[in-house]
Structure 1
Amino acid sequence: MRKLLLSGILCCSLISLSTVYAQKSEVPKFITNVEGVKEYSLKNGLKVLLIPDASQSNMVVNIVYNVGSRNEGYGEKGMAHLLEHMLFKSTKNLGDIKKMLSDKGGNANGTTWYDRTNYYEVFPSSDENLKWSIEMEADRMINATILQTDLDKEFSVVRNEFEIGENNPDRVLQERIISTAYLWHNYGNSTIGSKEDIERVKANTLRVFYEKYYQPDNATLIVAGKFDEQKTLQYIGQYFGAVPKPKRVLDKTYTIEPAQDGEKFVELKRAGDSKNVGALYHTVSYADKDYAALDALGEILTADPSGYLYKSLVETQKVSSLYFWQPTVRDASYLYFGFAVANDKDIKGTQDVVRAELDKITTIKYTDQDVSRAQAKIIKQIESIKNNTISFAINLTEIIGAGDYRLGYLYRDAIEKLTKEDIQRVAEKYFRSNNRTVGVFIPSKDEQRTKPVEFTDEQIVALTKEYKGKALEKEVAAFEASIKNLKQNLTEGKLTNGMKYGLIKKEIKGGKVQANFVFPVSNEKDLAGKSDVGAIMAQLLKTGTTTKSKEQIQDRLDQLKSSIGFNFNGQTLSVYVSTYKENFKEVMAILEDLLLNSTFPENELTKTIAEYNTYLEANLNDPQSIAINEIDRQTSSYPKESIFYTSTTQEQIDAFKKIKQSQLVDFYKNILGGNNGVGSVVGDLDTKEATQILESTFGKWNSKSKYELAKPIYFETKKLDKEYLTPDKENAIALGKVSLKMDRNSPDYPAFVMANEILGSGGFLSARIPMRLREKEGISYGAGSFINVPITNDVAYWEYYALLNPTKKNAVEVAAKEEISKALKDGFTAEELKSNLVSWQNERKTRLGSDDTLMGLVNTYLQYGIPLEDYDTLESKVKVLKVEEVNTVLRKYLSLDKMTSIYAGDFNKK
């Protein structure tokens, strides 16, 4: 009787909810259209941004709340971030959010920072996915359950995330410098929060925070990609229009950081294997016109190879590498420099050298060339993000958090209008030693102090409300994410030297063109002992040719808003190109110059080795690096000369130190070549012209070394449990690996894919291993499994992983092995297969909407003759699987008696 009564109440509540949606539904009011971003609003205060892009096959729904760690009070540090985690649990009306996201596949995430929290879902475009996402976000806005039982499990997951960050010396140093630089403002507190506050906060306290900030008048909803605009507005009006406007009035934060009155210094001592120096200067809000000039100055100072600090510190090998960043934030921000220092350098002496070079920033006479170079690089980055609609919609999160989405356009306009006088002015105004945090207090009189400028909400409204933006760009044609459509838009051919290519006719926003080239070269004999040489050679391919310097190459690529990347691994050189239709020919000519005329300057080799080895030294005691390295070493026995050999980190460091410039030149001239290569290009290019460009670039580029495909050897794994102690590291990792013989043509492959999906890889943390370790017991921040089944040989493996607190090592080991054992003994259920099949299919459809996936499929087809239809064929085979087949294949290939397990962490912690 009680069950019937509850059922009746539930039905009534759902009917009531539907009635509310019907009654309260409204048509969103159109506000403005800024460069294709269409703004609407609802009466309850919700802002809506629609960004249609027919060329996409996916869509994203992203909701941004104007609340972050800036809004946290005493005892609440980390509350905004913890609440972000909790909103993936359940709602009163829809139930288990995480399970629903898992069942639907796609990509979903939530993030928190100083001024904002956001949640987004990327799905294949469909009315069903769109409607569900909007309904879910509307329900999650006001109906999250926030149960204490869920919080009891989740806080340890968040604590584990905190501990992962504690393993990174550069990140910890950065946090200490930021907290020292700020006296009062919450930007001085890490968003992930205080571990003690995370552990002690109660669900009812979280609810108060949630009910205050998670309201329509404090949110911006973004829908971008391919979608029906009228239906989208209808769904938004139906679901969000039913959410009442809150009666409470949000208090504005009013803390303003006072002007810093002297250089500060912080020293951090803790376990680690790398040396770092950091420096922070207080700057301005993202809304301030000086923000753009400061960003450009950061580039002018740090760019490789033209930057003033780069030349004075990296070129001279006083530091191994450097970087800068300036957060996109609502209140007065900061600009941070990070410097990596080799272990053989004196850290205090280097610190003094760095400070001396920073003191010169105000005295440098900046040039027009400096400005144009920085402008080109930043505009290239802006355009690249803008023309990837999904990324653009997610990237708007930071700008909205800073005050208004139109600030991003004002920032771009400010970059375009910069002069050397702007750069000189901000250098002299903000880069004073009394505005810097690296050192000690120094008393002095009559200081000229840099006082942060406050921007009120009203000022930002006045700054942005009349902004119209530039002229709208031409709308691009739709492109269906399917193998059939890919084949219809594919033109394939062969160059005179035998290289195969595929041209994928597809309009991309902004006229963007992307290319991926794969060049298999040489053979095991000629490559023996040269793996490290090949890796470094690839990194130095852009450091100068007989016709251009490194600086000229980088400047021209920035001016063309283009990028070229190289990587060499095993016996394959990979080349990545990102450019635009009108620049494709010139960028490919630059690539040709790099492939035929590179010079590998000695000083660039020295710098690169120093940078790589500094990075590797930092990983000598890192749990994840050790575990990933050792799992391969424990499960294979290749000789050191083999291209399949896995070096220890120290062996890698020693090998890099021995590399000579002559070895790079020899590898470049005798090993590299394009005659066995394949490549694919995506964009709206003329087929004949593109073919001619490819022929000019690669047609005469041949390797002197005969190509023979190298194949790995099968090593059977054995039962092994091995620990590696990493003292004073806050996080640990567990890995388990089982070798098996299988290739993708195996009749067992489809069933094994689904077995792995259910066991550890599928859905949004709904597979057995992550569900047990993270969701049920809260003993791991991230856990799962994956498979590696090759195309050209049958040397495959299955592997599981778990990130954990060192004190939870035994619990994680027991739980992971129990879940594997249960699966082997009892098998999976038909319901598990059914639900994971849906999420697996959706994830594949989402992936097919990516240009990288399209290029990868075409390259695989060209290189190995794997038909494009195999992508659909696999799905057809998986769809008809019976659960008995999946269980049989799982038991055939997986066994705890053959699993090698590696654990790395400080397991002496109590």
Structure 2
Amino acid sequence: MKKHILLGYCSLAFCTLVSAQNKSVNFKKIKELGGIEEYLYQPNGMNVLLLQDNASPVATVQIVYRVGSKHEVLGNTGSTHLLEHLMFKGTPSFNKKNGNTITDVLQNTGAQLNATTWYDRTNYFETLPSDKIELALQIEADRMRNSLLLKEDKEAEMTVVRNEFERGENNPNSLLDKEIWASAYIAHPYHHSTIGWKSDIENAPIEVLRNFYNTYYWPDNATLTIIGDFKKDNVFDLIEKYFGKITKAPNAMPQPYTQEPQQYGARKIVVRKPGELGVINKAYKIPGALHEDLPALNILGEIIGSGPSAILNKTFVDSRLGIYTYASATNFKEVGLFTIGVGFPTSSKHEDIDAKISEVVAKIQKEGVTQDEVNRVVAKISAQTILARDGSGVIASELNEAIAAGDWTDYVTGVDRLKKVTPADVLRVAQKYLVEDQSTTGYFIPKQSGNQNQDTAKANNFIPENGPFYYRHSEDGHVHEESESAVSSEQKNTTEIAYDDTIIEKTASAYKREKVSAIDVISVKTSAKDFVTVAASISLGNYANEGKNNMIPSLTASMLSKGTTLNDKFKFSEKLQKLGVNLSVNASTFKINIGFKCLKKDLDQVITLLAEELRNPLFDAKEFENLKQQFIGNTQQDLNDPGERGSIALSQAIYPKANPNYSLSVEDYIANIKNASLDEVKAFHKKYFGSASMHLVIVGDTEGSNLNASLKKSFKNWNGGVVENMKFEEAVKSNSKTEVLTIPEKPSAELFIGQYTGLKRTDADYIPFYIANYTLGAGFAGRLMQTVRDNDGLTYSISSGLGGNITTGGYWFVNASFNPALFQKGLDATKVQVDKWVKDGITATELENKKTNLIGSFKVGMSTTSGMARTILSFVERGLEPNYIEQYPKDIEKVTLQQVNDAVKKYIQLDKMIIIKAGSLDKDGNPLK
């Protein structure tokens, strides 16, 4: 009997071994590079990329389909993008009828999920706790072949996508880009933008989308990428389990073969619409991403267009001819454009700016560039390539573009290609491709200037990728800079499971907090390799309510990068460029924000440069006048922006002028910029810049970074700053009010609904109300998105949020965009959901889902050095300890349903709603004729 048992056991083991071997045989290893392993899943031809990193319990699952808008033909432009939207509508296993939609199920694990469409590819991805990888694979395999693609879903989603199209039409640069591509490429399918032509979006039959899906959505047209915390054998088993049932495509997949004909002369297009700045975009035809000339073109773009030392910046911005400039080369698979752009005041003539751009190009083609310029760009990109690998989601995104370009290994070898570029190569490609006869020049000519105080009526009862790049994303509302802590920024579009301490145990050793040169320093070691992220801030105390010019903080912070007493702005920026560091110093009226990411080995150099910038600004008078012009030009654009105008109007309706949350009109902002003096900037710097209230958080590979020694050396005897509480006039709940801001020729209008709550982040009701609001309007799983967008198809983006500086009493708001013809219908649908939310509250099931959503997404957010640094900084700014990271999920977990629903009724009164309508609407809120 024992013998039989043993034989049985051996047979079982043998079967298991054979099974394992069969699975292993199914995965043919193709290559390994940079830690990434490529496999071919032989049963159906699917490519698999694996990058294992078990330091943090988070992973990203991504599937890239090698189909994009270039595969479309006349009549079905935009089909790839519209199909991408429909892929979230469900399968027989995951759908709204079953109560388990794809977005709900994933977000209830803490996942950050999305999808994007572009010319060469479409991708779907989710970053989530690593113990949920199986769910992600199950969903991606399911919708690869089992998506429902129902006609009723397409009809509702069509208007959503149309609103996305309309939002792009609101933006002068997006509109100009679209027109340039359509003119530059008349035959190649890059001719039409990814979102498609409006008539195709409106009229594409569901049969066209189903045919597109059944043609291209197959495993042998896909690359599955898994990055992060996993075991390879387990992943192989799961791929076999879920993708093993799917066969190769039954037919050959059609590929575009149209080649662009010879261009026999320069082309020019003109766009005339309301706006505040003139824009010229000059574009030259170039080859695809893997062509041998692309590295040199990429370096040329950096030299021409990036940073204070860039040729365009010196030619246009420093001379006050332009407000902003840019230059870059696209990296698409087949062909592309090298673009040079300038935005400039209407006092300049388009023809003069155009001629000046041609002079710049001619000079480069004659004189070339220097070895030092090439070296700086290569050093910058080399460092930034390492710094960008902060979290599995970022790596997946970069791999996505390399896959689309035709070779994923370019993600690893791209820097090596750049390092081989010589100045002679840059000169050669400038002469070869920046040819006038191969150019397309676009002029955006503003038809008229906006005016915030005209065309405004109150009811009686009274807020560049090159080429259009369209994401399917949820914009979580227009939240003012101070509205939510960095915790909230890590909670967007996300969800899970009971929180566990592995996030701390596996990513951070301990929080070291100490005073260094009078600066409050918090250091956290994580599993990041060779780099650190620094987030810091300096409080401005009561400045926001002292009645002073509110533009002085921003102007002062911006002047810091315009040179120091030790290095002019060119030398200073070049030092940073060589280190690949973007040193950010900006300010609101509440605080100065400081941030950077750098290689650990360079930390001492970066701290030295930071101290130099903060302590010894040059404050050059000419630079100050140049900066004011740039500020004015950029601010003027808000006159024609329905979102900005609507947001300002909402804050003005809620807060008194003496409250720091009150927003000035665009004209008042411009007046403040004009009136600002350099003496005011110097006085502000002298008083507020110092260590008195400075917090600095460093997260990452901190061991051996010698941060303290660097700070002591560079910030010795740095005095100044203020420690004071903010004084302000409290807002009070006002009566209901409706205001219309008329802005002509805007195909997408903005709705704001809101009211004052007075909630502060320290209030006991804050987290219950935050959860309530999250249920209503945060992410794809919020009620507003699931009803007004998904069911009714009335908007691309709708959300609710908490706004204002929440140390002084915040407000609640809803923000959505609608076609003017659908505006009233959208408003009515929104009000139905808000009314239901206030009167009935949320359900116990919703509460549990949102708790797991918030806790799980917090866990995912803490897997990056940037997420952790910003979050800890937000805690210490409020007087909390860094280890509140461990308490925050517990505070979420203990909230009761009664507390949530009581908070909604306590802070929201339906009869006191403020409604702002901004866009192409008349005084009664009807579409302009």
Q: TM-score, normalised by structure 1?
A: 0.88
The corresponding residue for 2:893 is: 879
Aligned pair 1:232/2:235, yes or no? yes
Match of 2:158 among 131, 155, 160: 155
State the alpha-carbon separation in 2 of the partners of residues 875 and 723 from structure 1: 41
State the alpha-carbon separation in 1 of the partners of residues 644 and 635 from structure 2: 9
Check the 8 A contact 1:481/1:848 in 2, yes or no: no
State the alpha-carbon separation in 2 of the partners of residues 622 and 21 from structure 1: 60
Check the 8 A contact 2:281/2:442 in 1, yes or no: no
Match of 1:358 among 350, 357, 361: 361
Count of paired positions: 844
CA shift for structure 1 position 63: 0.7
CA shift for structure 1 position 873: 4.1
CA shift for structure 1 position 436: 0.9
The corresponding residue for 1:842 is: 856
The corresponding residue for 1:369 is: 372
The SS at the match of 1:179 is: helix
CA deviation profile, 1:316-371 (whole Å, cap 9, x unmatched)? 12222111232221112111122101122233333333334334332233211221
Check the 8 A contact 2:180/2:442 in 1, yes or no: no
Match of 1:647 among 656, 664, 680: 664
The corresponding residue for 1:469 is: none
CA shift for structure 1 position 261: 1.4
CA shift for structure 1 position 492: 0.8
The corresponding residue for 1:104 is: 109
The SS at the match of 1:438 is: strand
Aligned pair 1:414/2:434, yes or no? no
Aligned pair 1:606/2:625, yes or no? yes
Aligned pair 1:741/2:758, yes or no? yes
Counterpart AA for 1:383: I
CA shift for structure 1 position 609: 2.1
State the alpha-carbon separation in 2 of the partners of residues 433 and 742 from structure 1: 59
Aligned pair 1:680/2:697, yes or no? yes
Aligned pair 1:768/2:773, yes or no? no
Q: TM-score, normalised by structure 2?
A: 0.87
State the alpha-carbon separation in 2 of the partners of residues 248 and 302 from structure 1: 46
Alpha-carbon spacing, 1:216–1:317, altered in 2? closer, same or farther (3 Å): same
State the alpha-carbon separation in 1 of the partners of residues 405 and 620 from structure 2: 43
The corresponding residue for 1:54 is: 54
The corresponding residue for 1:66 is: 66
Check the 8 A contact 2:67/2:216 in 1, yes or no: yes
Counterpart AA for 1:597: N
Alpha-carbon spacing, 1:524–1:428, altered in 2? closer, same or farther (3 Å): closer
CA deviation profile, 1:177-226 (whole Å, cap 9, x unmatched)? 11111120011111100111111111121111001111111111111122
Q: Which runs of 5+ in 2 are unaligned?
A: 1-18, 96-100, 444-499, 922-926
Q: Which runs of 5+ in 1 are unaligned?
A: 1-19, 441-478
Alpha-carbon spacing, 1:278–1:861, altered in 2? closer, same or farther (3 Å): closer
CA deviation profile, 1:839-859 (whole Å, cap 9, x unmatched)? 232222222323233223433
Check the 8 A contact 1:739/1:798 in 2, yes or no: yes
Counterpart AA for 1:436: S
State the alpha-carbon separation in 2 of the partners of residues 22 and 205 from structure 1: 42
Check the 8 A contact 1:676/1:707 in 2, yes or no: no
Match of 1:660 among 661, 665, 677: 677
Check the 8 A contact 2:186/2:260 in 1, yes or no: yes
Using the TM superposition, name which of 316-325 and 292-301 deviates more. Answer: 316-325
The corresponding residue for 1:501 is: 521
Check the 8 A contact 2:545/2:727 in 1, yes or no: no
State the alpha-carbon separation in 1 of the partners of residues 724 and 273 from structure 2: 49
Using the TM superposition, name which of 886-895 and 292-301 deviates more. Answer: 886-895
The corresponding residue for 1:890 is: 904
Check the 8 A contact 2:600/2:702 in 1, yes or no: yes
CA shift for structure 1 position 236: 1.4
The corresponding residue for 1:782 is: 797
State the alpha-carbon separation in 2 of the partners of residues 59 and 89 from structure 1: 24
Check the 8 A contact 2:654/2:731 in 1, yes or no: no
The SS at the match of 1:576 is: strand
Counterpart AA for 1:326: A
The within-5 A match list for 1:202-241 is 202-241=205-244
The corresponding residue for 1:591 is: 610
Check the 8 A contact 2:774/2:782 in 1, yes or no: yes
The SS at the match of 1:159 is: helix
The corresponding residue for 1:31 is: 30
CA shift for structure 1 position 871: 4.7
CA shift for structure 1 position 809: 1.3
CA shift for structure 1 position 678: 1.1
State the alpha-carbon separation in 1 of the partners of residues 267 and 597 from structure 2: 42
The SS at the match of 2:272 is: coil
CA shift for structure 1 position 526: 9.6
The SS at the match of 1:890 is: helix
The corresponding residue for 2:558 is: 539
State the alpha-carbon separation in 1 of the partners of residues 412 and 846 from structure 2: 47
Alpha-carbon spacing, 1:489–1:24, altered in 2? closer, same or farther (3 Å): closer
Check the 8 A contact 2:540/2:589 in 1, yes or no: no
Match of 1:515 among 502, 524, 534: 534
The SS at the match of 2:266 is: coil
Check the 8 A contact 1:45/1:217 in 2, yes or no: yes
CA deviation profile, 1:530-580 (whole Å, cap 9, x unmatched)? 421110111121221111121212211121222211011123111102111
Counterpart AA for 2:279: N
The SS at the match of 2:757 is: strand
CA deviation profile, 1:483-516 (whole Å, cap 9, x unmatched)? 577785211101343x21111012313x011111
Match of 1:818 among 805, 814, 832: 832
Alpha-carbon spacing, 1:889–1:707, altered in 2? closer, same or farther (3 Å): closer
CA shift for structure 1 position 815: 1.2
Match of 1:492 among 503, 513, 526: 513
CA shift for structure 1 position 694: 2.2
Check the 8 A contact 1:486/1:504 in 2, yes or no: no
The SS at the match of 2:786 is: helix
The SS at the match of 1:170 is: helix
The SS at the match of 2:48 is: strand
CA shift for structure 1 position 831: 2.5
The corresponding residue for 2:182 is: 179
State the alpha-carbon separation in 2 of the partners of residues 490 and 611 from structure 1: 41
CA deviation profile, 1:282-336 (whole Å, cap 9, x unmatched)? 0111011100101111111123322223222222122221112322211121111
The corresponding residue for 2:337 is: 334
CA shift for structure 1 position 61: 0.7
Alpha-carbon spacing, 1:232–1:737, altered in 2? closer, same or farther (3 Å): same
State the alpha-carbon separation in 1 of the partners of residues 767 and 678 from structure 2: 47
Alpha-carbon spacing, 1:369–1:837, altered in 2? closer, same or farther (3 Å): same
The SS at the match of 1:268 is: strand
CA shift for structure 1 position 700: 2.0
The corresponding residue for 2:133 is: 130
The corresponding residue for 2:454 is: none
Counterpart AA for 2:130: S
State the alpha-carbon separation in 2 of the partners of residues 805 and 278 from structure 1: 28
State the alpha-carbon separation in 1 of the partners of residues 256 and 729 from structure 2: 60
Check the 8 A contact 2:509/2:526 in 1, yes or no: no
CA shift for structure 1 position 21: 14
CA deviation profile, 1:51-99 (whole Å, cap 9, x unmatched)? 1223344211111101111100121100001001000001133333233
Counterpart AA for 2:382: I
Check the 8 A contact 1:296/1:374 in 2, yes or no: yes
Check the 8 A contact 1:21/1:241 in 2, yes or no: no
The within-5 A match list for 1:343-354 is 343-354=346-357
Aligned residues: percent identity? 28
Alpha-carbon spacing, 1:155–1:142, altered in 2? closer, same or farther (3 Å): same
Counterpart AA for 2:516: L
The SS at the match of 2:287 is: coil
State the alpha-carbon separation in 1 of the partners of residues 22 and 89 from structure 2: 28
State the alpha-carbon separation in 1 of the partners of residues 390 and 835 from structure 2: 48
Alpha-carbon spacing, 1:616–1:413, altered in 2? closer, same or farther (3 Å): same
State the alpha-carbon separation in 1 of the partners of residues 304 and 521 from structure 2: 40
CA shift for structure 1 position 880: 4.4
The SS at the match of 1:820 is: helix
The corresponding residue for 2:464 is: none
CA shift for structure 1 position 430: 0.7
Check the 8 A contact 1:500/1:862 in 2, yes or no: no
Counterpart AA for 1:29: K
